């Protein structure tokens, strides 16, 4: 795999090479501004062809009718091949997204894990049988939709793609996958690996196009029967609106502004470490980043002092340096957006306690780096406390008691995740039940398990990925009734 090669994409048996200079996507390495790769850009006219190829594969290939263990064998093989190419894939990931090396390895491990997990689910899935209430029995079967579209963001390439493709394929669907234009190459590698592992042609087509044309065309296409989207809340709202008009189901994994709560009975050292890793991991470019910190008033000063000291120690650096804990942001435009939010926070009257600028080290000068930043002195209604920044910016707020923190934590349009640190498990139970969020971490943060459902409340999304819910998302239920009459049916 050559990092700077010009990559075509595949439509059925054909390879699409760009016909003119414009029809490409150029991915930039966020660490130094160099070209990471150039990919042939899919155009809206390719969507018709891709949908036709996917339906043809769905109907003609035996995939959906294979025994579950046979389908699972291919999914296991995809997982095995992803794991075998762990390091080269992680290297591509690193130059495409700017994530530190260890995180890139984790992304590939997670992608391989999704294929293994859904192979196991496929093989062990049981349809439901209901006990007879008359002279019949009934059963509920999970059936594929046919052709589904999966649209992914840039912040966790290959993991996000696998999180959708593995369960959708396990359920028997054909998948049209549109990765983010910022990070187009890992999805193409996934398609190659799937083909090499024996996935029949046409069941996974990757369209590396722009969101507003190819993404929108996929969502509108009458041949697409379900859309699975991960990305920003406004994009999700637009996609959900079109799907609503079309009456097709959607899975929406959207943004967040997750509260991270520290009670005065917490182990403060662990809480500081958890808060730092919860916001500055992935340079804050994580949907579940704990970006709103709530600290109980009685420990606020002491905790913030320790937090600022620990934040200063976060090692910002080049992604391939093993000592690096935080790499660059994905693009110059995104770095400027994050810096703009810090300026908004200042203008709103916030105090920047640490960070608040790009680092001034020569070796980072060509990349899109930003220092880990903590702001306080604002109320929860401030823009930087309400809007998703998606960068290494933490806003800190004091709270009085349980009631106060529950009210403030829920005072946001989002509901993706939350975390809390406390020594009192009864309190943890009470607060966790009151917080409006799809995942709540107690004395830990940002743990993630393929088998545990994931998704958002409120404006953070609709539906659940991962676990058994992940397979259900890509299936529609059909009920069968089997007559067992001893006599002809009466009126």
Residues that bind ligand NAD (CB under 6 A): 151-155, 178, 180-181, 211-212, 215-216, 219, 230-232, 235, 238-239, 253-256, 287, 388, 390, 416, 456, 461
- Taking the complex as a whole, the smallest distance from the CB of residue 416 to ligand NAD amounts, in Å, to 6
Residues 6+ apart with CB under 8 A from 473: 167, 228, 251, 463, 464, 465
User: Sheet containing 128-134: which strands, arranged edge to edge?
Assistant: 128-134, 136-144, 475-483
Residue of 410, 421, 419 whose CA lies nearest to 459: 410
Please report where in the chains the tokens 């545990």 appear, as a residue: 452
Task: Give CA torsion, residues 99, 86, 468, 123, to 10 deg.
Answer: 170
Instruction: Say if strands 475-483 and 136-144 run parallel, antiparallel, or are unpaired.
Output: antiparallel
DSSP class of residue 213 equals I
Set 253, 388, 436, 465: catalytic member: 253
**Residue 166: exposure state from Cβ atoms within 10 A (0-12, 13-18, ≥19):** buried
**What's the distance, CA 258 to chain centroid?**
15
Residue of 196, 174, 169, 152 whose CA lies nearest to 114: 169
Residues 6+ apart with CB under 8 A from 460: 233, 253, 254, 255, 256, 287, 414, 415, 416, 437, 438
* Catalytic (active site) residue 305: no
Residues taking part in catalysis? 253
């Amino acid at each position: 795999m050559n990092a700077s090669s010009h990559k075509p994409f595949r439509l059925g048996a054909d390879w699409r090479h760009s016909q003119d200079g414009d029809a490409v996507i150029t991915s930039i390495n966020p660490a130094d501004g160099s070209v990471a790769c150039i990919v042939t850009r899919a155009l809206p006219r390719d969507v018709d062809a891709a949908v036709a190829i996917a339906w043809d594969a769905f109907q003609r290939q035996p995939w959906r009718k294979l025994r579950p263990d046979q389908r699972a064998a291919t999914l296991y093989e995809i997982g095995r091949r992803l794991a075998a190419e762990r390091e080269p894939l992680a290297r591509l990931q690193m130059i495409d997204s700017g994530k530190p090396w260890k995180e890139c390895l984790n992304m590939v491990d997670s992608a391989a894990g999704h294929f293994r997990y859904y192979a196991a689910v496929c093989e062990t899935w049981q349809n439901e049988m209901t006990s007879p209430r008359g002279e019949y029995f009934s059963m509920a079967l999970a059936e594929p939709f046919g052709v589904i579209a999966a649209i992914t963001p840039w912040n966790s390439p290959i993991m996000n793609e696998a999180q959708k493709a593995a369960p959708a394929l396990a359920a028997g669907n054909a998948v049209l996958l549109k990765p983010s234009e910022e990070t187009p190459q890992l999805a193409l590698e996934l398609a190659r690996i799937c083909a090499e592992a024996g996935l029949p042609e046409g069941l996974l087509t990757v369209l590396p196009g722009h969101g507003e044309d190819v993404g929108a065309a996929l969502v509108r296409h009458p041949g697409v029967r379900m859309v699975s989207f991960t990305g920003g809340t406004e994009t999700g709202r637009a996609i959900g609106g079109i799907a609503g008009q079309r009456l097709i189901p959607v899975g929406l994994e959207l943004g967040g502004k997750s509260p991270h709560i520290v009670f005065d009975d917490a182990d403060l050292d662990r809480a500081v470490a958890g808060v730092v890793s919860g916001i500055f991991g992935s340079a804050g470019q994580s949907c579940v980043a704990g970006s709103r910190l709530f600290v109980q008033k009685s420990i606020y000063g002491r905790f913030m002092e320790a937090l600022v000291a620990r934040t200063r120690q976060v090692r910002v650096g080049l992604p391939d340096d093993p000592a690096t804990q935080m790499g660059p942001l994905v693009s110059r435009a995104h770095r400027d957006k994050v810096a703009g939010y810090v300026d908004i926070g200042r203008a709103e009257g916030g105090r920047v306690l640490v960070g608040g600028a790009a680092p001034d080290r020569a070796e980072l000068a060509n990349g899109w780096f930003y220092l880990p930043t903590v702001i306080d002195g604002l109320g929860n209604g401030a823009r930087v406390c309400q809007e998703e920044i998606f960068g290494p910016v933490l806003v800190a707020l004091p709270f009085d008691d349980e009631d106060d923190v529950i009210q403030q934590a829920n005072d946001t349009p989002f509901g993706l995740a939350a975390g809390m640190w406390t020594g009192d498990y009864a309190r943890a139970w009470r607060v966790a039940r009151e917080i409006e969020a799809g995942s709540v971490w107690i004395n830990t943060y940002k743990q993630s398990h393929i088998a545990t459902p994931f998704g958002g409340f409120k404006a953070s999304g609709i539906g659940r990925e991962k676990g058994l819910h992940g397979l259900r998302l890509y299936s529609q239920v059909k009920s069968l009734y089997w007559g067992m009459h001893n006599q002809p049916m009466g009126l």
